[in-house]
């Protein structure tokens, strides 16, 4: 089902009307039209393209998903590709869910095409209704609220990723040797999610910065501070994402170094005990020779060898204990 809205002179006049009426409304310069499509068929896009005069290349980008976030400028309209993101829940808590949103912007119409319904378009509509004083700016206002919603979603995901990195940092120095493989899995998933998130966030700087160009004529003078605010948020998220990638890399390297340290510590302990065990083995093996030795076949020989084993092993134990090898 398509959602439609009609603003006339900054006032919401109608919504829920058929898409076939859009071409009649956009003929009025005082009208601003928005309609939203959810995973439309190629035939439906072809009809809309004909009514609004959309460029075939832009329509082709909609039909071929996984586009890079971008802004394309055509003679009759602008075409934007952005991504609404969120983290999964439950077993897929580290999975990054992306919703590709394609946006056509004409002089008095905004068309949004969503790849799936995980992008809450009702939240965008609620933002429009919360600022009725800005609806007079038409397309400039509608596009701003949509981009603001997308960038706020990026902020939320960056915050959640940052919290998970901090949780991993807290686990690094806890003594849970059995959780090493689980931690490696978490770090791998987090690193992969951060890389995917960066591919979505970083190109947004170019998209919003291009919209601020005066020669495009999309951003009205009074709306310019609002777009500048969105651009500042985009920069902050981009920088945050870069630092997250570095933090995940540092956590991974620290984890490997700690594993090496723990392995060396284990090897020291095993070697120390092996040295202690080697003393009685050496002594008893020496006394097991088939030749006479001091104390051979005498009680004193047994007690002297036992005492030598005890004294030598105790000395080694004390020495290794002082060196913290045991």
- The CATH number of whichever domain residue 185 belongs to comes to 3.30.460.20
Beta pairing, strands 109-114 & 3-8: unpaired
CB 71 within 8 A of CB 210: yes
Residue 177 shares a structural domain with residue 306:
no
In this structure, are 237 and 281 located in the same domain? Answer: no
pLDDT digit string (tens) for 66-86?
A: 889 999 999 889 999 999 998
Predicted confidence at residue 94, as pLDDT, reads 64
Instruction: Over range 247-257, report the average pLDDT.
Output: 76
The pLDDT of residue 253 is: 75
Q: Say whether both 249 and 295 belong to one domain.
A: no
Same domain, 57 and 205: yes
Task: Record the pTM.
Answer: 0.77
Q: Where in the sequence is the domain holding 283, given as residue range(s)? A: 267-322
Which residue would you say has higher pLDDT here, 101 or 325? Answer: 101
Q: Which residues contact 14 (CB under 8 A, 6 or more apart)?
A: 4, 5, 6
On whether both 145 and 281 belong to a single domain, the answer is no
Q: For residues 290 and 287, what is the distance between their CA atoms, to the nearest angstrom?
A: 8
- Tell which of 259, 278, 306 closes a domain: 259
Measured from the Cβ of residue 111, the count of other Cβ atoms closer than 10 Å reads: 25
> For the chain, what is the domain count?
2
pLDDT of residue 290: 56
Kindly state whether residues 230 and 139 are assigned to the same domain: yes
How would residue 145 be classed by pLDDT, with cut points 50, 70 and 90? Answer: very high
Q: Is residue 172 pLDDT above 70, yes or no? A: yes
Same structural domain for residues 96 and 123? Answer: yes
DSSP string, 182-251: HHHHHHHHHHHHHHHHHHHHTTHHHHHHHHT-GGG--S-GGGHHHHHHHHHHHHHHHHHHHHHHHHHHHH
Decide which of 239, 259, 279 is a domain's last residue.
259
């Amino acid at each position: 089902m398509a959602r439609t809205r009609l603003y006339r002179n900054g006032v919401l006049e109608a919504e829920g009307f058929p898409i076939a009426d859009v071409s009649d409304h956009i003929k009025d310069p005082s009208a601003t039209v928005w309609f939203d499509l959810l995973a439309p068929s190629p035939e439906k896009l072809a009809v809309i393209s004909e009514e609004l005069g959309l460029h075939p290349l832009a329509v082709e980008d909609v039909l071929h998903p996984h586009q890079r976030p971008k802004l394309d400028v055509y003679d009759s309209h602008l075409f934007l590709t952005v991504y609404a993101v969120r983290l999964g829940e439950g077993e897929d808590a580290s999975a990054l869910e992306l919703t590709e949103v394609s946006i056509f912007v004409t002089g008095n119409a905004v068309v949004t095409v969503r790849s799936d319904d995980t992008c809450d378009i009702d939240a965008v509509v609620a933002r429009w209704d919360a600022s009725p004083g800005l609806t007079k700016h038409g397309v400039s206002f509608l596009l701003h609220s949509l981009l603001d919603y997308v960038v706020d979603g990026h902020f939320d995901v960056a915050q959640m990723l940052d919290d998970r990195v901090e949780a991993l940092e807290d686990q690094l120095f806890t003594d849970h040797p059995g959780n090493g493989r689980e931690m490696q899995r978490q770090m791998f998933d987090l690193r992969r999610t951060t890389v995917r998130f960066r591919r979505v966030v970083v190109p947004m700087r170019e998209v919003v910065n291009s919209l601020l160009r005066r020669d495009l004529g999309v951003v009205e003078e009074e709306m310019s501070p609002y777009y500048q605010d969105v651009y500042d948020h985009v920069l902050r998220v981009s920088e945050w994402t870069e630092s997250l990638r570095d933090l995940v890399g540092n956590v991974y390297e620290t984890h490997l170094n700690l594993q090496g340290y723990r392995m060396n510590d284990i090897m020291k302990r095993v070697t120390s005990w092996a040295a202690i065990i080697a003393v009685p083995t050496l002594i008893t093996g020496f006394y097991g020779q088939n030749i006479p030795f001091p104390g051979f076949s005498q009680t004193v020989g047994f007690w002297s060898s036992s005492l030598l084993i005890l004294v030598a092993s105790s000395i080694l134990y004390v020495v290794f204990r002082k060196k913290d090898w045991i």
